[in-house]
Amino acid sequence: MGGLGNKWTLEEHFTTDEANKYWNSAAESARNGKALTEYVEFSLLDVDERLRLMDKTGIERAIVSLTSPGIQSISDAATAIRLARETNDLVRAQYVDKHPDRLSMFACIPTQDPSEAAAELDRAVHDLGAVGVLVNGYTNVGDAQTARYLDHPTFAPLWAKIAELGVPLYLHPREPLPSQTLIYDGYPSLVGSAWGFGHETGTHAVRLMLSGIFDQYPGIQIILGHLGEGLPFLLPRLEHRLDKQREGVGLGNARRKVGQYFSDNFYVTTSGHFHTRALFNAISELGVDRVMFSADYPYETMEEACAWFDTALLSHNDALKIGRENARRLFASTIR
C-alpha cells in the first residue's frame, strides 16, 4: 500500500432492498451500460467488499449515505418518514455497530415534512450516532414534477435543528426535474453525473448562499462533492456580475458576497473528480483546510480515487489535511 494511509472518505453510498423499491435503475443502466449498473447495484448492498477495498487502498474510515435520489425522491410524506427512519436504523445496525472503527453514517431525512426531518435528524444524531446529514438535492413534494429546494421558507425547522446540533449537511446531487431537461434533449448521457449533477447542485448551493440562511445561522457547514460542483471556478464570475446587478431584482436576502459564504460555510470533497489542476483551483479559492478526500464509491472505484490522490503533487502536510485531518476536525464532536 503506497501513498497516504488512514484516509477518510465522506461520499460513499449504500442502498437497501426496501429503498430500491422506490426508484429503478432503468435509466441509469441505459446511460452507463449493464455491466457497470450491475456492479454498482451489488456494491451498494455489500459491506464485506467495501471493507476489503478500504483495506486495499488505505482508507481508514468511510462515512456512508443513502444513494441518490434517496428519500428526497419519494413524493408521499408518510412513506418518506417511515423509510428514512427504517434506513437509519438499518445502517446503524448493519454498518456502524458491526464496524465502529471503520464506518460512520450520514442520516437520511424526510425533507417532505421539514419538522419531521428535523426530528429524525435529532434522533439519528443523538440515538444512532449519525455524524451529519446528507440530502440528495431538491425534494419532490406531492408528485415527481414538483421540486422544493432547501432555501424554501418551510425548511426553517430543519435549519434551526442543524444549527443546534452543529453537524454538517452534505448536499449531494440528483438529476434535474424531468421538466427541466430540455437542454439535454438528444444527449441523455449528460443528464446525470457527467454534467447535469454539477449544474443542478451548484445552482442549489448558490440559492442557499443568496437566501440569508448563513446570516441567520453563520456556523452551518455545507459539504459539496466533486470538488465543489464547478463553483471554485465559476463563483468569482458570479460574484462580479451580481455586484454589477446589485440594484436589480432576485438577488435574495444575502448580506455578504457569495465568495464569503463559500469560504466560511462550505467544504468540498474530491469525490469523483480526480484531476490535480482542478484540486489546486479548489485549494486556491477555499484554502487547503476546506478540501477533503472522497471517492464516491461505488460509482467510482476506491482504487482509482486513491491511486490519483496518493500520487498527486501535494506537499505532505497538504495531503494529510485533505486525506484525513480536515475531516477529523470537522467531525471532532461526533467521531472520536
The answer to whether the bond into 298 is cis (omega within 30° of 0) is yes
- Amino acid 154: pLDDT: 97
Rounded CA-CA distance 73/159 in Å is: 20
264 is catalytic: no
Number of domains, the chain: 1
> Is residue 237, in this structure, part of any structural domain at all?
yes
> Is residue 335, in this structure, part of any structural domain at all?
no
Domain housing 299: 7-330
Per annotation, catalytic residue among 76, 296, 310, 318: 296
pTM: 0.94
CATH of the domain at 242: 3.20.20.140
> Is residue 2, in this structure, part of any structural domain at all?
no
> Is residue 336, in this structure, part of any structural domain at all?
no
> Is residue 300, in this structure, part of any structural domain at all?
yes
DSSP string, 35-49: HHHHHHHHHHH-HHH
What are the strands, taking DSSP E only, across the chain?
A: 7-14, 59-66, 103-105, 133-136, 139-140, 147-148, 169-172, 222-224, 266-269, 291-292
Mean pLDDT by 10 residues, the chain (336 residues): 80 92 55 56 88 97 96 95 97 96 98 98 98 97 91 98 98 93 94 93 97 97 98 94 76 88 98 97 97 96 97 95 98 90
Rounded CA-CA distance 57/89 in Å is: 28
Edge-to-edge strands, sheet with 59-66: 7-14, 59-66, 103-105
As separate numbers, helices (DSSP H) first and strands (DSSP E) second, the chain gives: 16, 10
